[in-house]
Structure formats: C-alpha cells, structure tokens
Structure 1
Amino acid sequence: MPSTAPAATDAVPLRGFVARGRLLGLIGPAFVAAIAFVDPGNIATNISAGVDYKYLLLWAVVAAALMAMVVQYLSAKLGLATGQSLAEVCRERTNTPVRITLWLVAEIVVISTDLAEFVGGAIALQLLFDIPLLPGGIIVAAVSMLVLRMRVKGRELFPIVVVALLVVLAGCFIYLIARSPFDPSAALASLVPRLDDSASALLACGIIGATVMPHAVFLHSSLAGSFAAERRRGTPLPVLLRYLRRDVLVAMTLAGVVNALMLLIATELPAGTSSELDAVYRAFADNRGTVFAVCFAVAMLASGLASACAGVFAGQAIMQGFLRVRSNIWLRRLISTIPALVVLALVPNTTQALVLSQVVLSFGLPFALIPLLIFTSRRVVMAELVNGPVVKLLGGLITAIVVGLNMFLLVITFAG
C-alpha cells in the first residue's frame, strides 16, 4: 500500500500541470523530464563526439535515446502504480545503509547536472553578449529563480516557459542541421557500436549519462505519481497507461533526434577544430556564418535555462522522497548554484568540466536503474503493472550495458 506520508509530488509545483495540463492531449510528465535529456551537458558531449570522432559515436546517441525510452516508461509506470516517486519507494523498501547510499549518490547526480546547466548557460551568454563566465552563471541562476517564482506564485507560467524553451531548442537544431551537409551513408554505418580508444569510451559514457539522466528517473516517477490520483477517481488504467506510453515515446523521440542533430552538425567542422564550445562557436561562425553560430549559442542558452529549472524539482523530489524533508525551493537552487559558480571561477576548461559532469552521471546511473528495475518487477509494489518478461529483459540489458561501459572505462583508464 502507498504511504500516507505527503508524496513528493505534493511539494513539486508541477503537479497541477502534469495532472491537468495535457496540451493537445500530448504534453505530460515525460516532456518535463525530457528537458533533462537536452541540457548543455548533452550539447558538450555530443559536439565533442562529432568534432573529435565524427560519426563514430552516433550509435551511442541512438542507443542512449532508446534506453531512455525504456527507463522513463518504467519510471512513469512506477509513479502510476504506487502514487510515489522512486525515492519514496526506496525509502520505504530498503534498509538504512542502502537508503543513505542511494540518497547521497542521487544528490551528487543533481549537483553534477546543475553544474552542466549553469556552466552551459554561462558559456552561451559569453558567446552571445561577451559576458564573463562568473557573472553569466549568476545571471542564469537569477533567471531560473524568476521562472521558478512564476510557478511558485501559483501561475501556470513555469511549464509554459519550459516547454517553450524546449521548442526553441529543437527549432534551432533543426535549422542548424538543415544548413549542415552530412554523409547519410557514414551516419548509417556508425550505428554499429565500436570504440577507438579510452577517450572515445569516456565520451560514450558521457553521452549515455547525459541522455538517460538518473535524476530524471526520480523526477519523472514523482510527476507521474499524480496520475495515481486520477486512477482512484475512476479513470481507467488502460487509458492512463496508454497516455503515459505515448507521452514517453514522443518526448524521448524528440530528445533523441535533437541529440543526434547535435552530433551531426559537428561532424563537418574542419579537422583540428577544438571541441571546446567557444572554439566550436567560432568555427561555426567562420564556416557557416554568424547567424548559424548565434543559433547554436541560443540553443545552448535555452537548454541551460530550461534544465536548470527542472533540476530544482528533481532535487526536491529526491530530498523529500529519501529523507521525508520538505525542502525549500530557494535552498535547492542555492545548493545547486554554489558548486557551479566555483567551477566557473576556477576551472579554465569549462567544456571538459561539462563532459566530466556527464561521466559522473553515467557512474551514478546504476544507483537509479537497479532499484527502478527491482521495484517495477515486484508484484507487491506494482500489482497488475508489474514488469513482464520482455520488459525485465530490456531493463536488465540496459543496466548491464551501463555498468559494462563504466567498468570498461575504469579498466582502460587505469591500464593506460
């Protein structure tokens, strides 16, 4: 039976949007979670992969998108079945050492995610307006706080702004790919998985960590938990499940296409181009024109602002779910802002910091995937929504791939 304690969704101000705001019968919790899959960390890893390895790692982008669909479907199904977030389920059904470990890893994941969002947004402001990185990071924090305040005050502007930013991001990359020649045959050939060296393995881990996004697993289950109330009000289970499947399919497909476009537009940059985002921006300006480069920077700014807002709600769901502490939204933003501002002030290679933050996400991913797979496979937790054999197989395969890539990276790093 679900806990009678306040659900994480009660604290996350997106609940009303998720339960009621089904724009055109389509936009739901997966679209909010999808913001996490197209954040500046994705841009950094995908652009770096395209610049350094051309089409080699396109398979990782496609695989990560397919994995994200399965993982987010499981996350949504857990919320629908229990009315709880994954963090709440872990709190109630694990012992204290396991619960504390999962919580600490989840908090590290959220900080790493917010690092990418703030650094990426600050880089975009520097490219667009020549604002130094540290003041740029402060501006990103201030704007995200403003957007969050719109929603906290009871207005419905937060989800509208976030989805609008997602549309801007997708539109920018569609424009960029329309003006970027690429080799379709080489792209198709690159769908066969392979790695060249330890650096390509590092990028592959970063791509998967940046796309599957462990904190989005906690956020999505929290948001989808609001559908359990609709189920209790009499909405048929097949209707809700069909809606959530469509929501996940469309949102994750959109995010996957945008990620693939990120890599493809970078493949045609001249050999020797640095993969640092400011160098990529200048190369785009030199080879494609100022409008092309500005569109790239606008896309990065939109992704940073949108994902910075979504990250706060993920942090709320994690803290309240694991600790049963109703965290203050402004405190969550402060916790996320300080590490990012330190990196902007002290780290010279911000693009490398972005990529490494995504590798941290990849190593943190099993700590969300394994509990998710275990609990969604237990009938006592899921009732009639328990995973079938095919879903169990897919979930196990995804977890094995993530753990295998991480172990491979550790081996080749220390061996080298």
Structure 2
Amino acid sequence: MPETSREHRWYRQSGPGVLIAAAFIGPGTVTVCTIAGVNFGYELLWALLLSIIATILLQEMSARIGLISGKGLTEVIREQLQSRPILKALVLTLIISAIVIGNAAYEAGNLSGGRLGLESALDLEQSLIGPWLSLLIGCVAFAILFSGSYKVLERALTALVVLMSLSFVTTAILTRPDLGQVLGGLLLPGVSDANLLTIVGLIGTTVVPYNLFLHAALVREKWTDASSLPAARRDTIVAVSLGGLVSMSILISAAAADVSQVSNVGDLARSLEPLYGSAAKYLLGLGLFAAGITSAITAPLAAAYVVRGCMGWPVSLQHTGFRAVWVLVLLSGILFASLGINPIEIIRFAQVANGITLPVVAGIVLWLINTQLLPARYRNTRLHNIAGMTIVLVTVALGIRSIFLVLNSLIS
C-alpha cells in the first residue's frame, strides 16, 4: 500500500517535464532524425545521447531558477538588467523576436507534420479533405490552449506523448536493428564536414532554446516552493530521457530503411512497409500526428510565456495579452500550413539555427543560475558549471564550423 501511494504521488507530481518532451519531439525532430538515419545509419546516435544529457542539465537549471525564484527567465533577466535599460531593451527585444517569430515559423511545420501523420495513418493521402486537416489540428490545439487550465494542458500532452512514444519505439523494435551497430553509434563519436550540419541539427532539435524559457515558467504552475525541487528534477530526467528514446527510435527506424533519400516520415513509412508490413505506416503516422499536435500546442504557449515575462503581465493562462500572443502564433501556423507550403526545408534550417543560437541562451541560463538571485545552496556546483561551460563551448565550436561550411557552399 505504501508503495502504491508513492507511485501515485510521483504520478501526480509529474508534468512540466512531459510538456518539455512534447515540445522538442515535433516534426522537426522527426525530419532531422530521419535524415540522419538515412544518410549516416546509426553513426550519429552519440550526438543524440550527448544532446539528451545536455538537455537534462540545462532544463534542470532552468526549472531550478523558475522554482526557487518564482519567476520565468525573461522576468529574471528583466530584473537583473534593471540598472542597464539600454542593454535590457536590446536583450528582451532579441528574445521576443527570436522566440515569437521563430515559433510562428515552426508552427506551420508542426501543423503540416501532424497532417502528414494523420493522412498516413488514415489512408487519406489522396483525399480532398487532406488540406483541411491542418485547420482541424489547429482547432484542437486552440481548444486545449483556450481552456486556460494547466491540468487540461498537462493531461492532454501526457496522453499524446505516450501515444507518440509507443508508436516510434514499437516501429524501431519492428526493424530489428543490429544491437552491436547501435551500441557503436552511441559510444563512438565522429565529426566530419559531411555530417557536421546534421549533428548541429540533431543538437538544435533536442536542446531547444525556447524550452528553457517554457520550463522555468511551467514549474510555477505545478509547484510552489523549494521542497518540490527533487520532484522537479526527477520529472525532468524521466521525461527528457523518454523523449531521447523516441528520437533514437526514429533514427534507428530510418537507418533500417533500404533507401538512399527520405525527406520526411511519410517517405520513411512507405519505404518500411514492404519490409515490415502496413503496421509501420500506421505506427509512424500516429507518431508523427502526436508529434505535430504536441508541438503545435507548446510552441504558441512558449511564445506567450516569453512575452508575458518581458511585458510583466500577471501570471495567468487566461490573461488577454497572453492569449493574444499564442493565438497570433497559432493562426500564423494555420495560415501557412493551409497554403500547402512545404515546410521540410524550413524545419531543417530552423533546427540548425537552433543549434547555432543555443550557446547564447545556455550562457544566459548559466549566468542567472550563479547570480545572487538564488540562495547559495541552490546555485550551481563547480561540476554543474564545468558541464554547462562544456556544453556552451562545444556548441559554439560546432556552430562556428557550420557557419563556415554554409558560407563555403554558397561561395562555391
């Protein structure tokens, strides 16, 4: 009985981490992991493993700031730069521009990805109602967000994450991967000009900058004081690890596909069907649908939290300004998705851009976690700071190198 009570208590205390997993496992993740698997087999699994470790470290720091300070990252930044108004205005403007405009662009990909998955799972690829599915998914996202209830949001996304996880992990198991090659891909890192942009994309689609802002805000919706910090840490580790397993499953499934080029999960499903039957198409379709709709909910939500912190609005999911921001982002996504614009290349570019901008956001989190904002016992330990600086330095090096690669390709 006591054991059951502990399990029930753990379930009730979980939540924000699941929303973070729901946010980073979107059509962008599916696309980049699929491309990585098709082009490089199991070779880049190590990049995903390191990305998951980095995500857990940074998300835990972000959650700790939010829980101990009782404020979101943008609110904390605003307060810390209060004595430097010009710098504060510049930093907050850059944050709003990057998060709101970027998430509006992602939203079209999220809705289109959800639509592709639904079409595949329901055999609607040649149906006239296909173009209306993006609008339908957008309406579902609108209804969940408009409820203004954290519990409704949490439960809906938890169910979708479970569906997504079962779909992709089952597909990976069906492909019967070579465990020796999988282990080698996890433990033997390798970087070259040929795979560098894909590595940066894998990092960018896992360690998502806007999730750091989202997590700091969400922990305040779930918990109220420092005594909940162990639960918040456990929630982060379990949920992000589950998200990492999903990403690896997608890459493993793509590596098993006997094709030379796949641009999205629809192509992947069709390539696996002759080998593993129609189950692959339905499982991947359901997984992509869940990935699309979860990100379609969390991207507008993250943008609204960022703007709320910058503007100093009251802490309420039902605040008019808060709702106006997520409605704007959602409507932008519905508009572009309904126009039939192919989002695949935009999504891929966005993940690389995420990987390049990550060091800046990670540096901000490291700065905040070590300021007088938090009591000494809640600041980073030396080991935390070494790990954080290592993440920043590695992503800076990869980002600079990828910029040179892009410039060289443009010149040539």
Report the TM-score range of the alignment, normalised by the length of the smaller protein: 0.7 to 0.9
- Rate the CA distance shift 1:23–1:307 in 2: closer, same or farther, 3 A: farther
Which residue pairs with 1:146 in the alignment? 143
Superposed counterparts of 1:16-415, under 5 Å:
24-94=11-81, 95-127=88-120, 128=122, 129-130=124-125, 131=127, 134-149=131-146, 151-152=147-148, 156-191=151-186, 192-198=188-194, 200-226=195-221, 229=224, 231=225, 237=226, 239-325=227-313, 327-329=321-323, 331-339=325-333, 341-342=335-336, 345=339, 347-348=341-342, 350-415=343-408
SS in structure 1 of the partner of residue 190 of structure 2: coil
Q: How many residues align?
A: 385
- Give the Cα–Cα distance (whole angstroms) in 2 for the partners of residues 343 and 194 of structure 1: 37
SS in structure 1 of the partner of residue 339 of structure 2: helix
- Give the Cα–Cα distance (whole angstroms) in 2 for the partners of residues 342 and 23 of structure 1: 40
- Rate the CA distance shift 1:219–1:364 in 2: closer, same or farther, 3 A: same
CA contact (8 A) 1:47 1:275 kept: yes
CA contact (8 A) 1:112 1:360 kept: no
- Paired letter, 2:210: H
Q: CA deviation at 1:45?
A: 0.7
- Give the Cα–Cα distance (whole angstroms) in 1 for the partners of residues 102 and 214 of structure 2: 12
Q: CA deviation at 1:196?
A: 3.8
CA contact (8 A) 1:137 1:341 kept: no
- Rate the CA distance shift 1:118–1:176 in 2: closer, same or farther, 3 A: same
- Rate the CA distance shift 1:70–1:109 in 2: closer, same or farther, 3 A: farther
SS in structure 2 of the partner of residue 261 of structure 1: helix
CA contact (8 A) 1:83 1:228 kept: no
- Rate the CA distance shift 1:156–1:346 in 2: closer, same or farther, 3 A: closer
Q: CA deviation at 1:354?
A: 2.3
- 1:72-131 CA-to-partner distances (Å, cap 9, x unmatched) read 100110012210011111122232222222222222332344233122112223323225
Q: CA deviation at 1:284?
A: 2.0
- Paired letter, 1:215: Y
- Give the Cα–Cα distance (whole angstroms) in 2 for the partners of residues 146 and 224 of structure 1: 22
Q: CA deviation at 1:26?
A: 4.6
- Give the Cα–Cα distance (whole angstroms) in 2 for the partners of residues 389 and 278 of structure 1: 46
SS in structure 1 of the partner of residue 256 of structure 2: coil
- Give the Cα–Cα distance (whole angstroms) in 2 for the partners of residues 203 and 344 of structure 1: 28
CA contact (8 A) 1:46 1:263 kept: yes
- Give the Cα–Cα distance (whole angstroms) in 2 for the partners of residues 363 and 171 of structure 1: 31
CA contact (8 A) 2:21 2:239 kept: yes
Q: CA deviation at 1:274?
A: 2.5
- Give the Cα–Cα distance (whole angstroms) in 2 for the partners of residues 65 and 219 of structure 1: 17
- Paired letter, 2:189: P
TM-score, with normalisation over the residues of structure 1?
0.86
CA contact (8 A) 1:109 1:361 kept: no
- Paired letter, 1:24: Y
- Give the Cα–Cα distance (whole angstroms) in 2 for the partners of residues 274 and 345 of structure 1: 23
Q: CA deviation at 1:352?
A: 2.5
- Give the Cα–Cα distance (whole angstroms) in 1 for the partners of residues 348 and 36 of structure 2: 10
- Paired letter, 2:144: V
- Give the Cα–Cα distance (whole angstroms) in 2 for the partners of residues 330 and 163 of structure 1: 25
Q: Which shows bigger deviation, 64-73 or 155-164?
A: 155-164
SS in structure 2 of the partner of residue 225 of structure 1: helix
- Give the Cα–Cα distance (whole angstroms) in 2 for the partners of residues 136 and 189 of structure 1: 41
- 1:134-190 CA-to-partner distances (Å, cap 9, x unmatched) read 4232222111112223x32x5943321110011111111221122112122222222
Q: CA deviation at 1:406?
A: 1.3
- Structure 1 unaligned residues grouped into runs of 5+: 1-20, 232-236
CA contact (8 A) 2:69 2:373 kept: no
- 1:190-240 CA-to-partner distances (Å, cap 9, x unmatched) read 232223434x222211111111111111110011234673x2xxxxx4x42
- Rate the CA distance shift 1:156–1:36 in 2: closer, same or farther, 3 A: closer
- Paired letter, 1:362: G
Q: Percent identity?
A: 23
- 1:246-288 CA-to-partner distances (Å, cap 9, x unmatched) read 1111111111111111111111111324333332121122222
Which residue pairs with 2:4 in the alignment? none
- 1:328-374 CA-to-partner distances (Å, cap 9, x unmatched) read 425423324325642663644x3323222222322332332111110
- Give the Cα–Cα distance (whole angstroms) in 1 for the partners of residues 175 and 73 of structure 2: 41
- Give the Cα–Cα distance (whole angstroms) in 2 for the partners of residues 343 and 205 of structure 1: 26
